[in-house]
Amino acid sequence: MAPQRRGASKAPEGSGAAERRRQRSTKSIRAPRDVRKKWLRVAVLGSCTALAACLFWGSLGGDDGITEVLAHRSEILPGRFIEVPCSEDYDSHRRFEGCSPRKCGRGVSDAVITRDEARRIRSIAEKGLSLGGSDGGASILDLHSGALSVGKHFVNLYRYFGDKIQTIFSEEDFQLYRDVRQKVQLAIAQAFGISASSLHLTKPTFFSRINSTEARTAHDEYWHAHVDKVTYGSFDYTSLLYLSDYLDDFGGGRFVFMEEGANKTVEPRAGRVSFFTSGSENLHRVEKVHWGTRYAITIAFTCNPDHGISDPTLT
């Protein structure tokens, strides 16, 4: 009879076979963990890449999540106006019938001031600011009060420089300034359906030069949202005349009307006038300038003759 085949005897627990079984069992437990760790690394890497992309595109497109361009740099606008509900800011101030805002809104026009006029009036700003300039990113020149940024402070350029002013500016400069102011005043009156004679120039009205230099004082921090009627009181209508071109002369620096979920931006263009009622219905700010130099002039009007100021004169 052929001998019977006996099954292999069980190996003791300390043998190599038992160890191999434990290793296989450990690998079967470790494998899902390794897969999870691998996908976790991939997910983290993907999230970091997505965040970097968002930051990159955000640095190109602005820092406010702006969703609508009210006036594009490439457009030449004869006039664009958007009416918005008036805020209650005007109720705490004396009202002047036929002038104080009842119709509120914001407008943009490239037909009020020519690019040549903008170039010429920018030269006034350049000449004046060559006498000083802020240590921070924002410099101011006010031909009415004489305020000029110098370092971390302001000086009165008429007192500080005296007769030298006569060699910096000309009477033609001041006449151009007056002509431009009158054109802007008329455009605002027409847009809001009021008499131009009921509007009075008010302070502060000033040139601004902004670059990417780090802010040194609170005066240099121009990017905070604010309301002109709250900040200045006398303002009823605000305008800005841009004297340089977005993306040609500077990056960043767009004007932003702040609205929940859908901010509106104006891209500066030399000769472009942006104007609006000065209350909380037009909360706004300026983006930080990332490179280059942005020139503009703020021209404000009041309905209250007691808050009016005269045009500047050289003599």
Phi, psi dihedral angles at 103 (to 5 degrees): -105, 120
Contact criterion met (CB below 8 Å) for 200 and 235 = no
- Spot the catalytic one: 106, 181, 209, 294: 294
Digitized pLDDT (tens) for each residue of the chain, 315 residues in all: 443 333 444 444 444 555 555 555 544 445 445 534 444 453 444 444 333 433 333 333 345 455 799 999 999 999 999 999 999 999 999 999 999 999 999 999 999 999 999 999 999 999 999 999 999 999 999 999 999 999 999 999 999 999 999 999 999 999 999 999 999 999 999 999 999 999 999 999 999 999 999 999 998 999 999 999 999 999 999 999 999 999 999 999 999 999 987 899 999 999 999 999 999 999 999 999 999 999 999 999 999 999 999 999 987
- Token pair belonging to 302: 């009041």
pTM above 0.85, yes or no: no
- Residue 21's pLDDT is 52
Contact criterion met (CB below 8 Å) for 300 and 241 = no
Please give the DSSP secondary-structure letter assigned to residue 112: S
Contact criterion met (CB below 8 Å) for 97 and 168 = no
Say whether 294 is catalytic.
yes
- Residue 20's pLDDT is 52
Please give the DSSP secondary-structure letter assigned to residue 224: S
Tell me how far apart the alpha carbons of residues 186 and 112 are, in angstroms, rounded to a whole number.
9
- Residue 315's pLDDT is 74
Please give the DSSP secondary-structure letter assigned to residue 218: G
Tell me how far apart the alpha carbons of residues 287 and 23 are, in angstroms, rounded to a whole number.
62
- Residue 44's pLDDT is 41
- Residue 128's pLDDT is 97
Tell me how far apart the alpha carbons of residues 86 and 102 are, in angstroms, rounded to a whole number.
7
Q: What sign for the dihedral angle of Cα 47, 48, 51, 56?
A: negative
- Residue 314's pLDDT is 87
- Token pair belonging to 186: 């008329």
- Residue 143's pLDDT is 97
| Fold that domain 68-307 belongs to in CATH | Jelly Rolls (2.60.120)
Residues across the chain: 315
- Residue 16's pLDDT is 53
Chain centroid to Cα 235, Å, comes to 20
Q: Which of 96, 103, 97, 165 is nearest to 308 (CA)?
A: 96
Phi, psi dihedral angles at 123 (to 5 degrees): -65, -30
